Amino acid sequence: MAISLDVLASFAPFNTLNHEYLIQVAEKAALRDVPKGTIIFKRGRPFPEKVYLVSGTVDLIDSAFQVNTINPASESRRSPLNITQPTQVSAVAKSDVTLLAVDSDFLDLVLAWSESSDEEVDISGVSLHDDNDWMSSLLQSPLFSRLPPANIRQLFIRFSGQKVQADEVVIKQGERGDYFYVLESGSATVIDPAGKILAALRPGNYFGEEALVGETTRNATVKMLTPGKVMRLNKEDFRELLQEPVLRYLTAEELRNRPADAPPYQIVDVRLPLERRLQAVPGSRNIPLNQLRNNVKNLDFNTVYVVTDDSGRRCDVATHLLSQAGFDCYILRDAESCYAGI
Ligand SMILES: Nc1ncnc2c1ncn2[C@@H]1O[C@@H]2COP(=O)(O)O[C@H]2[C@H]1O
């Protein structure tokens, strides 16, 4: 049975969600008819769903056998019958009742998503039914718009499609990376090890490049929010078609001999401050790699960014991230020979 958004919004915390999230919850919520006399849940037992009363009467019975009767006129029916986990009360249907049930983990995810969107994650335009042309948004991204047409043709030949379920973990933080992904349909979230939502992904967005470029483990988990489809490319194809063509190099000599009318450049060192303490290229700006994504908004599109190669594979990842964000960037070869000055 489908649930109307008005009914959903009469319960807390759904009343705080915007229309887009309400649709997401409505897709996942279930209306359940329960006959009189049914024990809906038992005190002290974990219960995987949050349950709300839509119609009928329910008795909530606590450990002292005190009974709190809830009906649609009760103010407290706006909250879940099982507020705490595990619950402090047992719930018994005193009449035939209709319940609204929402998976607790899913509810947490949607709430976190909606809260984080107030801060930094732009989720505008993401919806369950986002039929954006994933291919055209992919091709318009700064990274892909720089690729030679022959590479793009090859990419589409070598991509393989994979259907994914809602809640499926496509990438697990800490695992080794074998594939690069593009979201063809559906929506997904990028989640850090502490469970914080870092980004919302929509069709045409790509992910999973950092572990491949840096030859490290996955730095976040990517989990589907809805069913959908991903296109994936194996590590070798990614390297040949997407990584090598994007990385560009400069030597100190080329930097010194840049024409006077060339745009200004900024040398960037993505090592940790501790690593720079002894030696660094004079005039370089320190943006440790783990802070680069958050700092791109403070960079200038009229400046050329030159990342020093003394950070090992981190400079490749940094250059890749800067290219993705649309910056003109290079790797400075043999940066260690420039510690006395360029
Ligand atoms: N802050 C972020 N915003 C968007 N995507 C991210 C963020 N952090 C990590 N990712 C993506 O999540 C992926 C996890 O696997 P990788 O480390 O291979 O590559 C990572 C990026 O593609």
Domain-wise residue ranges, the chain = 5-107, 117-243, 249-341
- ipTM for the whole complex: 0.99
Which residue's CA is the closest to the ligand 1 atom numbered 14? Answer: 220
φ and ψ of 94, to 5 deg: -85, -20
218 C-beta closer than 6 A to ligand 1:
yes
Compute the distance between CA of residue 206 and CA of residue 222 in angstroms, rounded to an integer: 11
The SS3 of residue 17 is coil
CATH architecture type of domain 117-243: Sandwich (2.60)
pLDDT tens-digit map of 219-273: 999 999 999 999 999 999 999 999 988 899 999 999 999 999 999 999 999 998 8
What atom of ligand 1 comes closest to residue 180's alpha carbon?
A: 18
What's the DSSP call for residue 240? I
What atom of ligand 1 comes closest to residue 218's alpha carbon?
A: 17
Query: Is 117-243 the same fold as 5-107?
Result: yes
Q: CATH number for 249-341: choose from 3.30.70.580, 2.60.120.10, 3.40.250.10, 1.10.10.10.
A: 3.40.250.10
Q: What's the Cα-to-Cα distance from 282 to each of 20, 269, 322, rounded to whole Å?
A: 49, 10, 21
pLDDT tens-digit map of 165-181: 999 999 999 999 999 99
Cα torsion through 270, 335, 143, 226, rounded to 10: -30
CATH architecture type of domain 5-107: Sandwich (2.60)
220 C-beta closer than 6 A to ligand 1:
yes
DSSP bridge partners of 219: none
Ranges of the chain with pLDDT below 50: 115-132
φ and ψ of 54, to 5 deg: -95, -45
CA of 211 to the centre of ligand 1 (A): 9
